[in-house]
Chain A
């Protein structure tokens, strides 16, 4: 920690900064969790194309990471999260979420099981007080390890080929599994996970491995056109995949100033995660009651006529009654569809008569559109190559 001089570096640089800054020809940076993150390195369209066509690399370091160890680690995580952490086998990863007592989502994230009593939570927001408060009565140790881990996301149909070329045999690595590989006298972890809905891997390193590994990976990936990507391209890919992001598609309850903004797992389409049989977990009683009584909100995927993005648009029922709001939207190059994710009042979630009102600014004039909405299952983009094991070689 750069003691005492925080004012000089309000945004920290990740361990990959020497490489990402060299590659960032546009110098377009944004803040993410206290770090500088590249929004775009040079051309967002080409970066997106790398995700769907070749191999792309995204700097994941700012993701917040907590390590949970100890005899009660599995029991602790079962009480904390919605899914059953005890059922997650060592070497496995699952997407999960956790709520407060009222069953309102605090965050979602991925849970990695490194050992019988050793887990890693990787998420968007900070939760140390909650994780520590939840540890009372359990024999666990909770530690924030964000700065101790460097991570990259390697995504794209050629990502397995790139890793093979780099000397990592990922042929047997199934989705949501991870394995360790030797690297320059040390070890790295590769998990078959990602946020693009495509074939892809996440690579977990120590900060001192960051630069040598980057160089090694980019040298190996050159034949596949490997390139670093920024958040703009990733955002498009994640919308195609139908993934939600904390503080974009929902407000985490522990940050919500307005109590009514908080959402339950049911309201975010995450009800499937809940393991009702594993025993008690925080929010269970509230969620049981909600299940019985019904939810107020729903998260839906929609397709909109035309190609004008509906970002931030208001949804109406019968063109009149306000029904919800679009939280993410984009024209999908992969699907040739005009996609959006929206929060709507539950009573309209399955309604036929949903409309979206788009205000499209074109050369300083708004074109106002009222367009009918087609409900569409998420993930919107769901290619077989994402799941194939062994992964496709290109």
Chain B
């Protein structure tokens, strides 16, 4: 039997692409190597009675246009905003975050009165950048080396967008895009802990430190989402991140799409320079008019496509594609809620993200360890307890805790991770939390530790990079993943890319999947049920 499209990988982007194609009337099949769908957006019961968001753990970037187009709320998707957050300091202090603007200002003012007021100016500037970049997320990047009318008109559109800004703002934006978050924050703030807190979004998932130029852009990448119009806010998917991919799957199946789990793609079939289908690990062949890979660009082309079918310079670029993992994850089942003595009774901060890194310097030193081929001795952790808000994930009174840890290198001093390395990594993280929450370790029922090794093995993220490729300018926009191949097409006809290796990059955003679907439909001459991206007013 033959399909209009076979999609490799049932991660969120693959399912988004499939969902759009199915709605446009194409016959699609998604194949997944694991026994479950979801890729890095999964909810898994790894300890009896406990649902783990064991990869991605929070949501903000997922485009609301997609939720609406694919009717995800109808299939059970609910995004819950979360409350508060805190950075703990050695010695018992902390910086709390509050949703209420004035409460937050007064909390910041405990650390610096000036910074408390500067935060509004900072937020204005960041929002200005967000307003500029958001419309770009759902567009195919133009090829600046091309003279095709479509590329030229897209470049002109970009120029017009720029035209809405003053000259000074344009210059400022160039600075923001190229500078380090550390330098950027220094222009607004004086308090190390406030800077340390705000720098977090600039490093999550990247192989950069807060002092690396280009890290300020990464912050924007984490700020340009929203929870129901609240730009920059983050939330939980009710029932764990798997709810997103479950809803996508249900939506897809309702439109006649198929999902096959349990056997991954061994090889993309190429005949006469065209992709014609895939061969699965169990030997099954699936024929299709086009093959769309949601795997990262390295995995797709270096592992599942015959190199002889590809141009040399493309192979060279793919090999050099930077996809170094920088993070790990601890997923913990807790017998009871942890207690942080620094927080006052009833404080909502525990319903948000908890950090133990109170300065940029500590974060940067953690990055130095990573460059040196070690996991950070004093790592940055983004700790969340979704069950503080979502009652569906654990038995009552019990909790699921997600600890995102940075930095963790893809290899330890040039060699593969061992189980001993993994255990040491785990202990480092648990001890850090214990230091701020005495008795924490006694409440631990189960820990799943995921180093870049596990991320690669299970989810298929090369080198454990959560964004399917680093977010530096040489790998953004028309450079992502490879210059000349940034429009979701590959050198092989009918072989497409739809994963986070493509523009606009990683995070549970769905934009690459949607943009790829738009290109496929455009190529096929099919009008799809795709609404325009929301206008930024």
Interface residues of A (CB under 8 A from B): 1-12, 31, 33-34, 126-129, 132, 144, 254-257, 259
Contacts and interface: CB of A to CB of B under 8 A. Distances in A.
Interface in B99-117: 100-107, 109-110, 113-114, 116-117
Closest 4 CB pairs of A and B: A34-B102, A6-B103, A10-B100, A129-B118
A10 B117 contact: no
Contact of A129 (B98, B121, B165): B121
A179 B371 CA distance: 66
Q: Is the interface of A mostly helix, strand, loop or mixed?
A: loop
Nearest to A262: B166
B110 A3 contact: yes
B107 A6 contact: yes
B113 A259 contact: no
16 contacts: A1-B110, A6-B96, A6-B103, A6-B106, A7-B346, A7-B349, A8-B346, A9-B103, A10-B100, A34-B102, A129-B188, A254-B124, A255-B120, A255-B124, A257-B128, A259-B165
A12 B347 CA distance: 17
Nearest to A4: B344
A2 B110 CA distance: 10
A83 to B, nearest CB: 24
Contact of A132 (B109, B114, B116, B128): B114
Nearest to B188: A129
Interface of B: 84, 96, 98, 100-107, 109-110, 113-114, 116-118, 120-121, 124, 127-128, 131, 165-166, 169, 188, 344, 346-349
A6 B348 CA distance: 10
Q: Is the interface of B mostly helix, strand, loop or mixed?
A: helix
A3 B344 CA distance: 10
Contact of B131 (A127, A129, A132, A257): A257
Contacts of B116: 128
Nearest to B115: A129
Given A257-B131, A259-B166, A11 B102 contact: yes
Contacts of A7: 84, 96, 98, 100, 103, 346-349
A363 B37 CA distance: 53
Contacts of A11: 102
Contacts of A127: 117
B286 to A, nearest CB: 49
A126 B120 contact: yes
Contacts of B131: 257
A356 B346 CA distance: 52
B98 A1 contact: no
B124 A256 contact: yes
A298 B96 CA distance: 43
A128 B105 CA distance: 12
Nearest to B537: A258
B372 to A, nearest CB: 38
Contacts of A126: 105, 117, 120
A127 B120 CA distance: 10
B103 A10 contact: yes
B169 A259 contact: yes
Contact of B124 (A2, A4, A144, A257): A257
Q: Pick from B106, B120, B166 the residue with the most CB of A within 10 Å.
A: B106
Given A7-B347, A132-B114, A31 B120 contact: no
Contacts of A31: 102
